[in-house]
Amino acid sequence: MGSERVAVQDGFLAVDVGSTAGPTVLLLAGQSLGPQTFDGVRADLAGRFRVVVVHTRGTGASQVPVGAWSTATFADDAVAVLDALGLARAHVYGFSMGGRVATLLAARHPERVDRLVLGATGPGGAHEVPRQEEVTRRMRHTASAEGLAGLLELFFTPAWIAANPEVAQRFTPRGTPRVRRAHHAASTGHDGWELLPAIAAPTLVLHGADDAMTPAANAAVLASRIPGARSVVLPGARHGYLEEFRPQASEAVLEFLG
């Protein structure tokens, strides 16, 4: 996998580009998460697809000054990546906040998206099924080791973390405090409800049944609002279903992308 730089108006994004000949899958990571969160997904897709992973603003090797970002900003970045790579269309897989970004991309630029996978995400705004306030408090307090451990337990079960500590660490927040605040503002300010019916791409909604960070009821909300969408909810999975339940999740994605 090679690395490329994609110019945007206020800097550049780093992009990992796979070498497999075949259809492209664009991967969009979650709030304050780096490209390494997709390591398992990338490995599972790489045999059949050209996998492109965006280092979102403030994460990985991307260099963009922190600003008043929105999910529309990140969607524009995704279009810039497709343009820079000479891709008229691609499959798009967005995880968590990346799923919010992917819905905007698919609704506003339907000609650029072949198939859409939305993982552990929701519509935002008044129609989002909210998390419990205690979960929000745990997400805010990650400076201490205890706080970070509590955050990771929103992604994975404690037993799985104990058995896979290095993989779990891929899901720790990235970027400076200012970057994290900008990501948080972009995600919490998102409201894609009115755009969801405009999504024309065949859509798969993936979710963990035990996701407390983005409650699983959001999967049904999205699937009912996006024309023709279908959902797969994985029993026992938390927000980080894509690693702890990697075989089942990747199988569903591979089958869907065909």
Q: What are phi and psi of 95, to 5 degrees?
A: -110, 130
Query: In the 8-state DSSP scheme, what is residue 195?
Result: G
Helix, strand, coil share (%) of the chain residues, nearest 5: 45, 20, 35
Question: Closest Cα partner for 114 from 20, 41, 26, 15?
Answer: 26
Under CATH, to which class is 2-257 assigned?
Answer: alpha beta
Who wins on pLDDT, 55 or 2?
55
User: Rounded distance, CA 108 to CA 228, Å?
Assistant: 18
Domain residue limits, the chain: 2-257
For residue 170, the model assigns a pLDDT of: 96
pLDDT digits (tens, 9 = 90+) for 81-133: 999 999 999 999 999 999 999 999 999 999 999 999 999 999 999 999 999 99
The C-alpha angle with vertex 194 and arms to 133 and 132, in degrees rounded to 5, equals 10
What are the b/e assignments for 134-164, b being 16+ CB within 10 Å?
Answer: ebeebbeebeeeeeeebbbbbbbeeebbeee
Q: Considering the entire predicted model, what is its pTM?
A: 0.96
Instruction: Say if residue 143's pLDDT is above 70.
Output: no
pLDDT tens by residue, 43-71: 999 999 999 999 999 999 999 999 999 99
pLDDT tens readout for residues 85-97: 999 999 999 999 9
